[in-house]
Structure 1
Amino acid sequence: MNFTNRIFNIRIALFAVLLIVAGYLSPPANAEEDEWKFFLNDRPELWDGYLASCFIEDGEYMWVGTNRQLVFKIFKETLEAVDTLNFSAADMAYDREGNIWMVGSGLKKLVGDTLIGWDQNNFQEIGLPGPYPSYISVDSTGIFWLGFNGEGLVRFDGESCIVYDDTNAPFKKHHLGGVIIYSIVVDKNNNIWVTTALVNGIMKFDHKEWTVYDSTNTVIKNVPFKGLEIDKNNNIWAGSTIGLYKYDGTDWYLYNDDNSQINGLVDKIAFDNDNNLWFSTNNHIGLVNYDGINWRVFNQSNSPIHGNRIFRIYIDKKQNVWFQVTHDPESGEVWKGQGVNIYRKGGVILNIDERIKGIYQVNTFPNPVYDFLTINSEVEYNTYEIIDLRGVSVVSGSFNSDNSINVSSLVSGTYCLRLIYGQSFNTVFFIKN
């Protein structure tokens, strides 16, 4: 059968920039305990000047955002960059349905290998105060919380925005940059926690009222705060200039250089599936791990790590720790590799599950379509969602016995069809005439 009508191939035409970047295995310090892998470190002509700003797992792939107008799509099993997106990604998150969203040079939803949504050309359509959000979190009701470097905090429900700034929230406006958001996290009770410039404390929003935790009502010191994260037990962890604070809902605990391996402002924090803490500081001491009892620091003097300066930490479903590093050269020293390092105690696991490897071909016909679109696939998909090129869901439902969808009410244009079976999904594009 001729599949040339399968419109999803337009994503290849739009974003067909292939990079083949070889990964290599570095001998671990202790093969039974630790293993390290690296990619884009031995190709300075490609990677020099790029810093990984964010990561997100997508089945057999990892999307890696950078500080340039480029997002790498990495095939995890071989650590090859197989595609790129023309987007400057500062942060990434899953929505409630498992879709990937990116912020940076806009607010975009990933559909297949295509980004659709809002940028400098149309951000005002939904009431965004600016086109360049820096942080994104999604609460349990599906609301997006966006942090800006000047425009404050934004609540986005998929259609319109509410902006929180110094007029309706306990934020302070910088005389040069407006309200600068440092971090946003959502706890298990759906509270929004925020740190900002000029506010020496941590702020909580319960969707009705704001609460500020600072030196006036808690034992925490009057110091700046930056990084935030929630652990598996719903404890709040907040990085400050004097150490790392933990809040269990009642008491505050401070980890600093007197009782831990913390030295400097804690600005990157992550937790693995076993609730082990991973973080870095602005003093460039390396990658720090705390399992609740023991502290461990990975640096260039005791491990194969490629740099002591950590820019971002991400932990995938198999407990691999992905992080961007760079090396600060000494006087007269030439460039010495940087890029993304991957660590896992007991060995890095990048092989793909067999159920993920099974890629089933989907045929949609007729395509273009006027009224009923029929799906032909080896997989019996349960439900579907149709998404327009803005990233907005316009139709959703369950399949009938003949696997057809009535699309007669849609306006003419190109759409993405998301086919869902349990926790798995597939995407194809089609044209409505």
Structure 2
Amino acid sequence: MNFTNRIFNIRIALFAVLLIVAGYLSPPANAEEDEWKFFLNDRPELWDGYLASCFIEDGEYMWVGTNRQLVFKIFKETLEAVDTLNFSAADMAYDREGNIWMVGSGLKKLVGDTLIGWDQNNFQEIGLPGPYPSYISVDSTGIFWLGFNGEGLVRFDGESCMLFDETNAPFKRLHPFQVTINSIAVDKNNNIWITAVGVPGLIKYDHQNWTVYDSTNTSLRANSYPIIVVDKKNHIWAGSTFGLYKFDGTTWEYFDITKIGVKDPILNVVVDKENNVWCSTGHSTGLIKFDGIEWTIFNQLNSPIHGNQVLRIYVDKKQNVWIQVTHIPESGEVWKQRGVNIYRKGGVILNVDENHSLISQKIVFPNPVNDILTIISEIDYNFYEVIDLKGFIILSDKFDFNKSIDVSSLNSGTYCLRLNNDFISKTVFFIKN
């Protein structure tokens, strides 16, 4: 091969490499479609009349509460509903031990795939003022804070409740039996932040003193604040009738959304780990993103989103944005295109992590059991908890060499057994004779 031919072949090879690199760097033809996924909108028996009221991520699954006395357990990788719970969930939260709690048609703890706790039949046992809390947050000491649409704010320590209303907190009773909480958030200093109907400001409770931030002592000017959240930097974000407010602990900053043509109150706010603020008005505005400088609106005119009314927003660990959308019909149209939409810039990621795939391994143990419960598992669990059906931990300890548990002291009945190691947790039920 002469020198000229060698140079020509090298040029061909370099050109081929450039084509391959360009293929990897260029976005695929369907990049926009890959950034959006949809579910509950293509199965009328599931989504007709259903609206997602809340979301919470649970490893390889997503729990989706609805307005119709039903919670869906969604396998994220396929977006298939694999189970349902008979519960009307308005809000969900994790406690300090990693348990999921739901409020709505009661206060319930998720143990395995079963809800246990309190509802209209037994809510008075722990001193709840009513059976239907609407909001839940958990502080750094494990205390639950529950917001009610009428009864006020409740502090629940796992055994008993303390009620805060207009008699012992800066709330307003607008109508008989109505002290309504709009939202609850806990900052990194364990302060409790609340917004409430009739209070034209933000309320902070440091477990001793109450402080109201409003137009008398800050630059806040709105009459209503439907939502309050805390970001990773411990900044407070509040949606209002005028736009967004941010508080960094010293200074209040106002972001005017009327500049982008949005005139409705902000009802939903979520801040992701990159400090992008995702919000919606609950009207026909679409999904709004604010990166601290620029605003972006995703609607049916400029994106594949299935509706312009965004009712709920949730961001998972992989930065997927889950939203409940509804298409508001024009004159003569019918309601349509309801469902959950998922967006992530660069492509939605729903694959299952390897450490979660171990959870499906089988666990075998004598059931029912009389005295000694022996665990046989391919997974090496090192700690256990035995929980009764009210959610109280009855027994807990490290495993001995034989992986056995003495349950002879338990009363007859059904119990939950939670097995833990440093990576995963598994919950199963057993019957004590």
Fold in common (TM above 0.5): yes
Aligned partners of 1:292, 1:260: CA distance in 2, in Å?
Answer: 14
**Mapped contact 1:270–1:277 kept (Cα < 8 A):** yes
1:328 aligns to 2:328 (yes or no): yes
Judging changes above 3 Å, is the alpha-carbon distance between structure 1 residues 285 and 34 closer, same or farther for their aligned structure 2 residues?
farther
Map of 1:371 onto structure 2: 371
Alignment of 1:378-389 (within 5 A): 378-389=378-389
Alignment of 1:174-323 (within 5 A): 174-176=174-176, 178-257=178-257, 262-323=262-323
Secondary structure of the residue aligned to 2:31 is coil
**Mapped contact 2:41–2:340 kept (Cα < 8 A):** yes
Map of 2:168 onto structure 1: 168
Q: Which amino acid aligns with 1:334?
A: V
Secondary structure of the residue aligned to 1:125 is helix
Secondary structure of the residue aligned to 2:355 is helix
Aligned partners of 1:79, 1:176: CA distance in 2, in Å?
Answer: 44
Q: Deviations over 1:43-63 (max 9, x none)?
A: 334312111000011111111
Q: Following TM superposition, by how much is the alpha carbon of 1:370 offset from its aligned partner in structure 2, in angstroms?
A: 2.4
1:360 aligns to 2:358 (yes or no): no
**Mapped contact 2:91–2:102 kept (Cα < 8 A):** yes
Q: Following TM superposition, by how much is the alpha carbon of 1:256 offset from its aligned partner in structure 2, in angstroms?
A: 1.2
**Mapped contact 2:310–2:324 kept (Cα < 8 A):** yes
Aligned partners of 2:152, 2:264: CA distance in 1, in Å?
Answer: 26
Between 328-337 and 48-57, the greater mean CA deviation after superposition? 328-337
Between 277-286 and 259-268, the greater mean CA deviation after superposition? 259-268
Q: Give the structure with higher Rg (CA).
A: 2
Aligned partners of 1:29, 1:68: CA distance in 2, in Å?
Answer: 39
Aligned partners of 1:262, 1:234: CA distance in 2, in Å?
Answer: 27
RMSD: 1.6
Secondary structure of the residue aligned to 1:124 is helix
Aligned partners of 1:204, 1:424: CA distance in 2, in Å?
Answer: 35
Provide the aligned length of Structure 1 versus Structure 2.
Answer: 405
Q: Which amino acid aligns with 1:55?
A: F
Q: Which amino acid aligns with 2:213?
A: Y
Secondary structure of the residue aligned to 1:46 is helix
Aligned partners of 1:282, 1:335: CA distance in 2, in Å?
Answer: 16
Q: Which amino acid aligns with 1:409?
A: S
% identical aligned pairs: 70
Secondary structure of the residue aligned to 1:356 is helix
Q: Deviations over 1:344-373 (max 9, x none)?
A: 0000011111221222211122x2222221
Map of 2:395 onto structure 1: 395
Q: Deviations over 1:166-196 (max 9, x none)?
A: 1110000121551000000000000000000
Secondary structure of the residue aligned to 2:238 is strand
Q: Deviations over 1:56-87 (max 9, x none)?
A: 11111111000111111111111111111100
Between 36-45 and 303-312, the greater mean CA deviation after superposition? 36-45
Aligned partners of 1:126, 1:399: CA distance in 2, in Å?
Answer: 32
Judging changes above 3 Å, is the alpha-carbon distance between structure 1 residues 217 and 327 closer, same or farther for their aligned structure 2 residues?
same
Aligned partners of 1:261, 1:192: CA distance in 2, in Å?
Answer: 33
Map of 1:406 onto structure 2: 406
Between 109-118 and 282-291, the greater mean CA deviation after superposition? 282-291
Map of 2:92 onto structure 1: 92
Q: Following TM superposition, by how much is the alpha carbon of 1:260 offset from its aligned partner in structure 2, in angstroms?
A: 5.6
Secondary structure of the residue aligned to 2:352 is coil
Q: Which amino acid aligns with 1:412?
A: S
Aligned partners of 1:318, 1:234: CA distance in 2, in Å?
Answer: 21
Q: Which amino acid aligns with 1:139?
A: D
Map of 2:5 onto structure 1: none
The answer for unaligned runs of 5 or more in structure 1 is 1-27
Secondary structure of the residue aligned to 1:182 is strand
Q: Deviations over 1:175-218 (max 9, x none)?
A: 15510000000000000000000000000000111110011111
Map of 1:7 onto structure 2: none
**Mapped contact 2:202–2:225 kept (Cα < 8 A):** yes
Superposition TM-score, scaled by structure 2 size: 0.91
Secondary structure of the residue aligned to 2:337 is coil
Aligned partners of 2:206, 2:261: CA distance in 1, in Å?
Answer: 33
Aligned partners of 1:173, 1:242: CA distance in 2, in Å?
Answer: 24
Q: Which amino acid aligns with 1:164?
A: F
Q: Which amino acid aligns with 2:102?
A: M
Aligned partners of 1:167, 1:61: CA distance in 2, in Å?
Answer: 42
**Mapped contact 1:95–1:138 kept (Cα < 8 A):** yes
**Mapped contact 2:222–2:240 kept (Cα < 8 A):** no
Q: Following TM superposition, by how much is the alpha carbon of 1:30 offset from its aligned partner in structure 2, in angstroms?
A: 6.3
Judging changes above 3 Å, is the alpha-carbon distance between structure 1 residues 38 and 251 closer, same or farther for their aligned structure 2 residues?
same
Secondary structure of the residue aligned to 2:237 is strand
Aligned partners of 2:193, 2:215: CA distance in 1, in Å?
Answer: 17
Judging changes above 3 Å, is the alpha-carbon distance between structure 1 residues 33 and 231 closer, same or farther for their aligned structure 2 residues?
farther
Q: Which amino acid aligns with 1:342?
A: I
**Mapped contact 1:277–1:290 kept (Cα < 8 A):** yes
Q: Deviations over 1:223-271 (max 9, x none)?
A: 1111111111000001111111101111111111355665321111111
Q: Following TM superposition, by how much is the alpha carbon of 1:409 offset from its aligned partner in structure 2, in angstroms?
A: 2.0
Map of 1:135 onto structure 2: 135
The answer for unaligned runs of 5 or more in structure 2 is 1-27
Alignment of 1:18-37 (within 5 A): 31=31, 35-37=35-37
Q: Following TM superposition, by how much is the alpha carbon of 1:126 offset from its aligned partner in structure 2, in angstroms?
A: 0.4
Q: Which amino acid aligns with 1:364?
A: F
**Mapped contact 1:33–1:345 kept (Cα < 8 A):** no
Between 109-118 and 367-376, the greater mean CA deviation after superposition? 367-376
**Mapped contact 2:204–2:211 kept (Cα < 8 A):** yes
Judging changes above 3 Å, is the alpha-carbon distance between structure 1 residues 290 and 222 closer, same or farther for their aligned structure 2 residues?
closer
Q: Following TM superposition, by how much is the alpha carbon of 1:426 offset from its aligned partner in structure 2, in angstroms?
A: 0.8
**Mapped contact 2:416–2:428 kept (Cα < 8 A):** yes
